[in-house]
Structures are given as C-alpha cells and as structure tokens.
Amino acid sequence: MNKRQHGLSRRSFFSLAAAGGIGAALSSLMTRKGFAQDPQEKGKPSTNIRDAMAWERTADSMPGKYPGKVVQVNHANCILNNEPDQDAVSEMLRRGMVELTGADSLAAAWLQFVSPADRIGLKVNPVAGKSLTTSHQLVRAVISQLQEAGIPKDHILIWDRREFELHETGFTEENYPGIRITGTEQQDANGSFYGPDGLLYGEKMIDKDWYYWADVVEEYDDYTLPYMVNSGKYSYFSKICTQQVDKIINIPILKNAGASVTLCLKNLAYGCISNTGRLHKDLWGETCAQVCAFPPIRDKVVLNIADGIRGCFNGGPGANPQFIAEFKTLLLGTDPVAVDRIGYEVVLRKRIAEGIQTEDKPKARDFMNMAQELGLGVADLERIDVAVLNLT
Amino acid sequence: MCLIRLNSINSMKMKRVVLLIFLGWTTLWVSGQEDVFPLSTDTIRGWEVAGTRMYDGSGLWGYINGGADIYLEYGFERVYVQEVLLNDHLLKIDAFDMKDGVAAFGIFSVSRFRCLLNDSLRMHHCISPYQILSVLGDHFLIISDQEGTDAATQCGITLLMEISEKMQPASFLAPEPFSVNNAEGQLKCIRGKLGLMNGFPSLSDLLESYENYTLYALPVAGDQPDQVLAKIEFADRENQADLIHKLAELQDNAPEKVVYIKATGPEGILFLIVNKEEMTSTCPYRKLFSDQ
C-alpha cells in the first residue's frame, strides 16, 4: 500500500488540516483514552505521533489477521556443526505457518498474507555482523515457501537500512540469485556515499512525504552524516517501504538491548527511517512504538518471523560472542507487539538463568505498552495466546 | 619491558602478587605510553595488516548502529578497526580509544562474561571462544576471530602481548575499597543508564535519574546481582544527599534487606545492600561500615 491508496498524500493532508478541513474529524480520534499521547505529556521531547494516528486503519493494519497470537516453534536439532540446519529451519517455518493460520496447506498459509501481485519486502537485520545476523537459512526458507505459494521471485526484495551491511553479511545477489538486495544507505563500488551529482545515495532513497518528527536534534559531522542521511528534527521514511514494496515480512533476530529487546518493533522503526542517532537517548522506546504507527509500516507489515535460532541475551544489539545463545526457536505472528512480548520472555529467562538480572524490569517493556496503546498489538502477557511446537 | 611468563604458575595467589608488582611498575610508566593504533607492520612485525577503518565521535553509529550508544555514554574518542593475519589466522581488532582509563575499564567490565584468563597476559582481559577483550590504558580492545579454535585464540593472545609491549600502558586501578582481585573478577564500572542496564540492572531503578557519575559495583554474594557493594562519585553534591535519602527509603521499603551507607567526601557514597539471610557471608564488606 502507498499513500495514494489512502487517497491523500501527506502534503495534501497537512494542507487540508491547516485549513481546518479535517481538523474536526481528527479531534475525536485524538481524545480517546491512551490514544496517541505526545511524549511531551510525559516530560519527553514532543513528536508528531498524532499525525500517524490520523490515518485510517486498513484491513492489513497492525496487529494484522491474528492479534495477540504467537506461535513459538522450538527445534532441538536446528543447529548442526555450529550452523543452522536448512532442513530443520524450513520445517520449523512450515509448521509455524500452518499453526499460525490454521490453513490446510503451506501455500494457503502464505497466501493469507501475500498475493502474487504484491511486491514483498523481507526486512532482515544484519547490523551486528556475520555472527548475529538474521540467518540465511531462515531467509532462504521464506523465499522458497513464498515461491511455492506462487510468488514470483522478482517480486521479492531483501532490505535493511544499510545496503553494505547486507552485502557484508552475505545478503548478496550472488547468494540470492534473482532477488533484489537493497538498502536506504548506499555506497558505490568505490566506497563513496555520494553520487556524481554530489548528493548522498541515501538522500535519493528517502521519501520526504513521510516523516517522523521529534523535537530532538543531533548535528552529525561529515563522516557520520552518510549513515544518518540527514540531520535536524525529521526522520524520513525510506522509499523502500513507502514506494518499493506493497507488503513487508519482518524477520528480526532475537537480541537484547540492556534489559529490553530489539525485535520486531525495533527492527522496523529504526530500520525504516533516517536520522536515527538522535532518537536513541531520550526517545528509544517512543521511536520503537510510534514509527510503527505510521501507515508505511503499520499497514504493510503482514507477518513477523523472529529468528531466535541464535540470538543474544546481553551486550546487544551488537554481537558479543560471550553473550550469543542458541535459543533454537522461531516466533511467528502478525502481531509484532505480541511477538516482541514473547521474545522478551525468552531473553529474560536466559538473563536470569545466566545471573545477568534477578527479575523482570517492567520499564524494559515500556515500548511494548506504548505500541499497545497505539493499537499496534497486544503487550499484556495474559492476553497473548502462545502455541508452542517442539520439534526434534 | 620485562616479561614475566606465568604459564607455569597456577595459583591465583601468586598471579595476584605478580599482577600487583606489574601494576606498581606500570604506574611509573604512565607518561611513557605509546599510542600504537592504527597498527602497522612496523608495530607488529611478521603480521600482515589489512583493511584499516576509523570511526570517531558519533561516527560510531555508522559502524555499530545502536551498539554505539553505550560507548558514547562512557566517553568515546575513536575506534580503529583492522584485520591482521598471522599463520593463516585472520583476526579482527577493534581498538576503542576511550576518554580515559576508567571509561576503557568500564566498557570492558560490562562486556566481559565467564572469562578464561591467561597467565601470560598482564592486563585486564577476558578470553572466550571467538574473542579476547582487554584494557590497555585508555584503550578497550576486542580481538576476534571467525574460527573459535584454540589456535586462533593463541594467535590473539600473541597479538595482544605484542601490542602491550609496544604500548607499555598504564593499568587501571580500582579505587578503595575495591581490590585488584575485584577488578580482575566481577567489579563493574558504570557511567550511565546503558551501563547500568548492561552491567548492573538491579541498580537501575535506584540510579536511573542520575547523570554524570562514576559507579563501581561489585556483587557480594556469588552471582546474585541484587546484593552489592558500590561506590559512586557524582559530579555535584546535591545528588549525594538525594541518593542517601533514596537508600534510606530502600531500607524502609525492603525489610528483607540491610542497607549500609557511608559518605565518601563531598560527592561520593559507599553503600552495601545485602539480604538479611546473607549477613554471615557478607561480613567482610560490612566491616567497611563499622564506624557507622
């Protein structure tokens, strides 16, 4: 979906809003309890979250077809010789998809979320490098099963923020023939971030019609700017999600971030916008939740497959070998908040077992609660329906 | 530099003595530290050096994304990322030049986990498969390999020894009452929220509202991170009074715990939080508060 399907571009939307044309219609949305609360009301920097909530939800909007449902597929032998085993991972995904959807065939399960006409983006997470990237075995299994369901290969795209990180971790067109691999931030063959016209390649990849505004500024030096694309108070959405894909399958890797996790919401939020460096300190949780409330993400992400074959329980989101664990699990769901909540439990149990912490830190779950308030999914553990499959 | 090989010395006691001698000796050589980064083939003869990259300031976001935040919190200057090759073992070295030796020890202290130690190495270090962490003066070093073999690890140890010999770094000394042994073991040094979340989450509720401090925290009852001896130095004295108040409240609200508090100078506090049932095992630490 893109902005045209909403019948309104962002610019025309704000022109109308400024003229008072739809202000009245929005006010009822904004006054619902717990709805789109500006962080400023909690003493934090202000953001434009209310803009996001003004957009009508669609049938595909988060939390998707199965709110509050998570399938956890464990496989004791999914790692062989220190590598994920392709057959085992494919079977985990197959069983998980059928369990999640209740479909009578694997193809039918996938076709609940995508169709052959869709351009499908697989949002992976390679940022921690080779040792802690979304596993290739899982991505290959997704591609293979999509093809079995009739999705043309050239409708599938693998993407993340930094194209060069994808390449460094093996997401290359050589390893994935016929699949487009792309990122928002790009370098050319000479390692330059700038094209012959003097513009950042990343500048051409951002869509200035869609942005997350936050009252936080970080001025980047010349060296840092190519990694952020722009400075100032605006973080623009990547054209990859606003223009180049119709559906997104989110494939994060199970990692901690302090006592919290970086999983579905973080992978989407920080992976889809520019100028993220400024958002870490004061608005980490808000960014994770609020960016996902904007239509380019909220209405396009149809499925989340959290890769917990390997993950980390401390030192994340970077890869520190001493904290990498073989969780040997996949978490599937259309509801990214519920998947994050269950993933959080997996990491928390490991952290407690390893003596990193002694108990749950509720504040570490704030971003999930924020996402729940925004209507993106279910964060309350008792309201999440978890189906656990144990394979051997 | 005089090399003292310790491979044959197994007792921790002896190792500690030698480390103390070394620490005393290196203190004399603080001004003689040599900055050897980025490494060159002149620095480490016999090695092949390839692919040098440097990231400074917030440029670290470009290298490790959100993982940069904790380095920036401690105080980060620059990192040189290099690959070196010896005897077919390819190693990657990340040499983080931190703001000071405390910052270097701090990021090391929250990064180490279940370390193997090697008696040949006379700096704070932590060996695990695929990786060696170490502190050399103001530098935090990560030497990593893709093999996870003993041979690759040994190669990393050799590299670390060569760098150390060239650098002659000052060693980090923890403040009183913490010992060299504590610093070698589980002592954490923390300067902000991210350090707390990664290194000592049990203190995050207590300390989350503060900034501009240096905290040393040591678990005092085995691996139980909720029982801690800690020393904190604030940049301003208002926080000292505020934290003393919070610690007193903690004692009131958690009757199963005993909290000992002692002001250390105008901006510092030494405090001990233990479970009542652990009073015997934590006795040595309680003596620090015997004048209370």
Place of tokens 């993340």: A160
- Chain B residues with CB-CB distance to A under 8 A? 55-59, 61-62, 64-67, 69, 111-115, 126, 128-131, 144, 146, 148, 194, 197-198, 201-202, 204-205, 208, 223-226
User: Which residues are within 8 A (CB) of B177 and not within 5 positions of it... i.e. 6 or more apart?
Assistant: B229, B231, B270, B288
For chain B, the structural domain boundaries read 12-167, 180-289
Q: Which residues of A fall within a CB distance of 8 Å from B55?
A: 223
Place of tokens 């704000």: A14
Contacts 24+ apart (CB under 8 A), B146-151: B146/A130, B146/A131, B146/B90, B147/B89, B148/A82, B148/A321, B151/B89
Spacing of C-alpha B107 from chain mean position: 6
Instruction: Tell me the β-bridge partners of B142.
Output: B94, B133
Q: Which residues of B fall within a CB distance of 8 Å from A356?
A: 201, 225
Residue B201 and residue A361: Cβ atoms within 8 Å?
Answer: yes
- Interface probe, candidates B54, B58, B107, B117, chain A, greatest A C-beta count within 10 A: B58
Residue A128 and residue B69: Cβ atoms within 8 Å?
Answer: no
pLDDT at A274 over 90: yes
- Amino acid, res. B50: A
User: Shortest Cα distance from A194 to chain B (angstroms)?
Assistant: 15
User: Which residues are within 8 A (CB) of B65 and not within 5 positions of it... i.e. 6 or more apart?
Assistant: A127, A270, A317, A318
CA A250 – CA A123 distance, rounded (Å): 5
pLDDT at A256 over 60: yes
- Interface probe, candidates B198, B208, B228, B274, chain A, greatest A C-beta count within 10 A: B198
**CATH, domain B12-167, list 3.40.1000, 1.10.12, 3.30.200, 2.60.40:** 3.40.1000
Over residues B205-221, mean pLDDT: 92
- What is the DSSP secondary structure assignment for residue B49, as one 8-state letter? E
pLDDT at A33 over 50: no
Task: Tally Cβ neighbours within 10 Å of residue A150.
Answer: 12
Structure tokens of A211?
């942005």
Alpha helices in A150-205 (DSSP H): 163-168, 201-205
pLDDT at B285: 84
CA A76 – CA B141 distance, rounded (Å): 35
pLDDT tens for B125-146 read 999 988 999 999 999 999 999 8
Over residues A40-66, mean pLDDT: 92
pLDDT at A131: 87
pLDDT band, residue A206 (cuts 50/70/90):
very high
Which residue would you say has higher pLDDT here, A378 or B288? A378
Structure tokens of A291?
């960016």
pLDDT band, residue A285 (cuts 50/70/90):
very high
Q: Which residues of A fall within a CB distance of 8 Å from B204?
A: 259, 361, 363
pLDDT at B259 over 50: yes
Over residues A55-82, mean pLDDT: 96
pLDDT tens for A168-205 read 999 999 999 999 999 999 999 999 999 999 999 999 99
- What is the DSSP secondary structure assignment for residue A81, as one 8-state letter? T
CA B199 – CA A309 distance, rounded (Å): 25
C-alpha dihedral over A53, A59, A60, A65, to 10 degrees? 120
pLDDT at B33: 60
**DSSP string of B156-222?**
HHHHHHHHHHHH-PPPP-PPTT--HHHHHTT-EEE-SHHHHHHH-GGGHHHHTT--SEEEEEEE-ST
> Quick one: closest CA in B to A186, which residue?
B62
CA A257 – CA A356 distance, rounded (Å): 13
Task: Tally Cβ neighbours within 10 Å of residue B34.
Answer: 11
- Amino acid, res. A12: S
Mean pLDDT score of chain A: 90
Burial class of B78 by CB neighbour count within 10 A (0 to 12, 13 to 18, 19+): middle
Select the residue of A127, A318, A355 nearest B223 (Cβ to Cβ): A355
User: Which residues are within 8 A (CB) of A99 and not within 5 positions of it... i.e. 6 or more apart?
Assistant: A71, A73, A332, A387, A389
Which residue would you say has higher pLDDT here, B284 or A108? A108
Residue A280 and residue B131: Cβ atoms within 8 Å?
Answer: no
CA A321 – CA B152 distance, rounded (Å): 14
Nearest to B93 by CA among B132, B47, B41: B132
pLDDT at A12: 37
Residue B201 and residue A258: Cβ atoms within 8 Å?
Answer: yes
pLDDT at B292: 59
Give yes or no for a contact between A263 and A349, defined as CB atoms under 8 angstroms apart.
no
> Quick one: closest CA in A to B202, which residue?
A357
pLDDT at B282: 65
Select the residue of B65, B197, B208 nearest A317 (Cβ to Cβ): B65
Place of tokens 């500006």: A38
CA A134 – CA A137 distance, rounded (Å): 9
User: Shortest Cα distance from A350 to chain B (angstroms)?
Assistant: 14
* CA–CA–CA angle B58, B63, B64 (5° rounding): 90
CATH fold for domain B180-289: Gyrase A; domain 2 (3.30.1360)
pLDDT at A20 over 50: no
Q: What percent of chain A has pLDDT over 90?
A: 81
Nearest to A293 by CA among A265, A263, A332: A265
CA B162 – CA B250 distance, rounded (Å): 49
pLDDT at B107: 97
